[in-house]
Amino acid sequence: MLGAIEELRAKPIWSAAQRAQLAALSERLRTATVAGETEQLRELLPQASGEVNALILAAQAAAQRRAAVARYVPAPNAGTGGMDLASVGGMDLGTADLPREISSRPQTLFGRLARTFSYVARQAKHVFQSAIHAVQKVSQLVRSVLNSVQRIATTSTHTAPKGRMNTSRHEYADHLYTKLFPNGPNDPPCPPGWQWVPGSQPCGDHHGNPTTSTIRCKKGVAGPEMCAQQAWEDYWRYEGQFRLAKAFVSSRAPNLYPALLAASAHESYSAHINQSDHPVLLLENTLRWEEEHRADIRQTAATFGIPPELLAGVLMTEMYWDYGHTDELMDHMAPLVGRIGGIVNRFFLRKSAPGLASVHFDTYKKAYEDLEIQGKLPPDVIPPDALNAEYLVTPEGTIQAAALVTLWLVEQYDHNTLSTEDMALIYAAYRQSTVKIADPDNGVTFQNWLDNPSRSLPGNGQFALPFMQYATEVY
């Protein structure tokens, strides 16, 4: 130990105070050694080792400062007395521990400029790559929106609801056409609502095959002229869809459609309801969706402890009365938004209500937090902070989101048994919030709204009642 300290003292890298400290340390060790004081040596050796290490670290820091200064004021070996600072006392104090900019120590103006240019180029490349990545993400989102807009724009109300084309309807239309004209449509009359226009050029049939017919039809005063065969094809494709839809609805729920027509006459229809397809097609699509997911609705309702007919009624009412092309467009964007995630997903959730259940994020969050506090939150419900737009547009996400809000409202309603009117009122609160289902000045609340015989269901409750009655029969 004494030899190592003396070797360090011989290096011209110490200040006067540091050299004096090393000398004092060396003297204490020598005195204890000569006197044979073993216990004192045991105490001095760790202390001496610590002091030496501290001095070496101080020398290293000083060397780094001198190297940093040397970048701007070149002075090789300045302040080192010609000694190599890469090794002090057998320890590596050199460039391995220094930043790249310090260790390389460019000594010329050209070197410093080259290094600065290299650094700027690396940063510019990183920014450029980040910008390209962002542009690609935005491009994907724009393409998704444009594709959805194009598909919705080219989908007339004559097609299946919510833009879903069913090829069997086209086949059915062809079947009707062939049945009406078994010998070929060479000279058919114009369809109802179309005017006959004589022509001189032969027309093709409804599949484009040439015929001898010269009859043309015109719809309305300013409508375009077309061959009679083509006019009949359009007419029967239109009628074929509605015949199929009417047949399906009549076979499943013969009394449901008249009840919905009566509900649509309610005074608040135009203020609260959004229908963008023909009611028959909407109803057919709604009933088909409910049938397809009936088992999932039952299972989810059992998990959440709510009547399955209430959950089914809420979902069907939302689909029929409150889901249009704008909602469809947002749902087409949701998967991409969900995959992007982060702030984009959070912003999208707060500005829209993805999924057929149309559950808003603030409502979902409030329902989740209240049920969690009450200890009535079912297991495996996704927390609001982890909610994803892509999940909400899936059948599972739609059903679970609707079930969460419905359970929250059922707990507030606090009735032992629920009639169809009670369930319709719960849907009204689902659609409008409980605050709007109240009359505080007269002591009327969401919970006792129906206790007063003079009060009827609010508008949204009227819209929901036919579906609650249908779901009660089914479930």
Burial tier of 395 (Cβ tally within 10 Å: 0-12, 13-18, 19+)? middle
Higher pLDDT pick, 173 / 406 = 406
**Which range (15-24, 83-92, 385-394) has the least confidence?**
83-92
Q: What is the CATH number of the domain that holds 308?
A: 1.10.530
Q: 241-268, pLDDT tens digit by residue?
A: 777 788 889 899 999 988 888 887 765 4
Are 112 and 97 part of one and the same domain? no
Q: Is the pLDDT of residue 391 over 80?
A: yes
Q: Which two tokens stand for residue 179?
A: 């049945």
Residue given tokens 């013969």 in the structure block: 254
- Same-domain pairing of 467 and 323: yes
What mean pLDDT, rounded, does the chain reach?
Answer: 74
Spell 164-185 as b/e; 16+ CB within 10 A means b: eebeebbebbbebbeeebeeeb
Domain membership of residue 115 (yes or no) is: yes
pLDDT of residue 176: 55
Asked if the structure places residue 252 within a domain, the reply is no
Q: Where are the beta strands (DSSP E) in 160-268?
A: 194-198, 215-219, 225-227
pLDDT of 272 over the 50 cut: no
**Do 150 and 176 lie in a common domain?**
no
Same domain, 451 and 429: yes
CB atoms within 10 A of CB 299: 12
Residues 335 and 464 in one domain: yes
Render pLDDT for 408-428 as a digit per residue (tens, 0 to 9): 999 999 888 899 999 999 999
Q: Would you say residue 320 lies in a domain?
A: yes
In a domain? residue 18: yes
Residues 29 and 96 in one domain: yes
CA–CA separation, 86 and 199 (whole Å): 102
Residue type, 162: K
399 occurs within a structural domain: yes
Q: Give the end of a domain, one of 89, 121, 154.
A: 154
Average pLDDT score over residue span 291-297: 96
One domain for residues 371 and 443 = yes
Between CA 216 and CA 207 the distance in angstroms is 16
Query: Which comes out higher in pLDDT, residue 74 or 453?
Result: 453
Nearest CA to 275 out of 323, 316, 333 is that of 323
Mutual angle of helices 395-413 and 294-304, in 10-degree steps: 40
Residues 122 and 173 in one domain: no
Helices (H), 73-166: 100-104, 109-153
Report the distance separating Cα 254 and Cα 64, nearest Å.
89
pTM to 2 decimal places:
0.57
Amino acid 44: pLDDT: 66
Amino acid at 31: T
Instruction: Mark whether 196 and 74 lie in a shared domain.
Output: no
Of 230 and 333, which is predicted with more confidence?
Answer: 333
Give the domain range for residue 220: 161-245
**Do residue 13 and residue 50 come from a single domain?**
yes
Spatial CB neighbours of 240, under 8 Å, sequence gap ≥ 6: 169, 170, 172, 173, 175, 176
Q: What is the pLDDT of residue 189?
A: 66
Domain count, the chain: 4
Calculate the alpha carbon distances from 101 to 9, 70, 281 in Å. Answer: 31, 11, 71
Assess whether pLDDT exceeds 50 at residue 305: yes
DSSP 206-234: TTS-B-S--EEEEETTTPPEEEHHHHHHH
Domain assignment present for 241: yes
* Position 76 pLDDT exceeds 50: no
